[in-house]
Structure 1
């Protein structure tokens, strides 16, 4: 298996990182990453497998600021963990509910707008060493440069 790192009492281990579709026009890119998790959180010490499809710009990438998580590609792409944070999710009635979500981000830093994206397959496990269970997990692909970040479907809850 790939590299491992422990951040905020959670151990992340890389299983696979692969670029597998290139030159996807920006118009064909979904607004958020596609995520699949192996099971709901229960007791500590169980590793959970997470699969993510992330769309990243095919432009040259710059060094990312937060390198505390799993290194995916040089200093340009990292999987970072941000703890358990409140997140708004859609409910069946068409409104939103606030739940506690374990937040992961596939982070990169692209200084310019891109017209094409590459699709990456990322699979990792996380194991809660200590602390509370989360109601859900969420993963965003996020550009550290706010001028070119397109955002995603999940909405963090603004703190007071």
Structure 2
């Protein structure tokens, strides 16, 4: 999906979400896993986030500020007219249920750069937003892919890493996943 949406000091150029497989509650990952790759050109970064999101029929519509809508939909049904009509109705209900949000820069203490001890590392803070019903049994393992660039790269604080969180994780017990930038050669 082509986005070209400015959020804070960055521009999201494109964003997509892909369902990889269904996951039972007992096998879900508790923290998102991410990688970030510096692009070939100046000021371009590609990010992949792997996380669990409840199945689309368990999600509740939300409308957060400063975020990008991710088109999270159930897999295509078999060629059955009755199920096609049900799916069309369901898509209308769930179309506004998963978002990618950029929260700006955050300095966090981490051992990610062990040569500096437990000093603060500046991270670009991304959050996967969704709201779900209680007592969820089934989740999907999803990959969220997006690329971004800095609006004014000469005036921005340089971030050494990204911080990725799910909205539903308790910030008192989980700080998310910190990942450094991989440079392509």
Q: Smaller-chain TM-score range?
A: 0.7 to 0.9
Q: What does residue 146 of structure 1 align with?
A: none
Q: 8 Å contact 1:14–1:124 — kept in the other structure?
A: yes
The answer to whether residue 105 in structure 2 is matched with residue 84 in structure 1 is yes
Decide which structure has greater strand share: 1
**Cα distance change on mapping 1:136 and 1:5 into 2, 3 Å:** same
Counterpart residue number, 1:158:
none
Larger Rg: 2
Give me the TM-score of the superposition, normalised by structure 2.
0.68
Whole-angstrom distance in 2 between the partners of 1:133 and 1:36 = 17
Partner Cα distance (2:170, 2:20) in 1 = 21
CA 1:21–1:129 in 2, change beyond 3 Å: closer, same or farther? same
Describe the SS at the equivalent of 2:136: coil
Q: How does 1:23-62 map to 2 (within 5 A)?
A: 24-39=23-38, 46-58=43-55, 60-62=58-60
Partner of 1:102: 124
Structure 2 contact 29–51 (Cα < 8 Å) conserved: no
Partner of 2:134: 112
Aligned to 2:180: none
For structure 1, which segment, 11-20 or 125-134, has the greater mean C-alpha deviation from structure 2 after superposition?
11-20
Q: Could you give the per-residue CA deviations for residues 85-133 of structure 1, whole angstroms, max 9, x where no partner exists?
A: 122324559x844221110011101131312211111110110112221
Moved more, 134-143 or 48-57: 134-143
**In structure 2, C-alpha distance between the alignment counterparts of 1:31 and 1:96, rounded to whole Å:** 24
Q: CA RMSD in A?
A: 2.7
Please list the CA deviations of residues 56-100 of structure 1 after superposition, one character each: whole Å capped at 9, or x if unmatched: 11252112242422110321100010000122324559x844221
The answer as to whether partners of 1:31 and 1:150 remain within 8 angstroms in 2 is no
Higher deviation after alignment, 8-17 or 78-87: 8-17
Q: Of 55, 66, 80, which residue of structure 2 is paired with 1:68?
A: 66
5+ residue gaps, structure 2, are: 72-94, 178-185
On the 8 A contact 1:32/1:153 being kept in 2, the answer is no
Q: Is the 8 A contact 2:125 2:164 kept in 1?
A: yes
Please report how far the alpha carbon of residue 153 of structure 1 lies from its aligned counterpart in structure 2 after TM superposition.
4.8
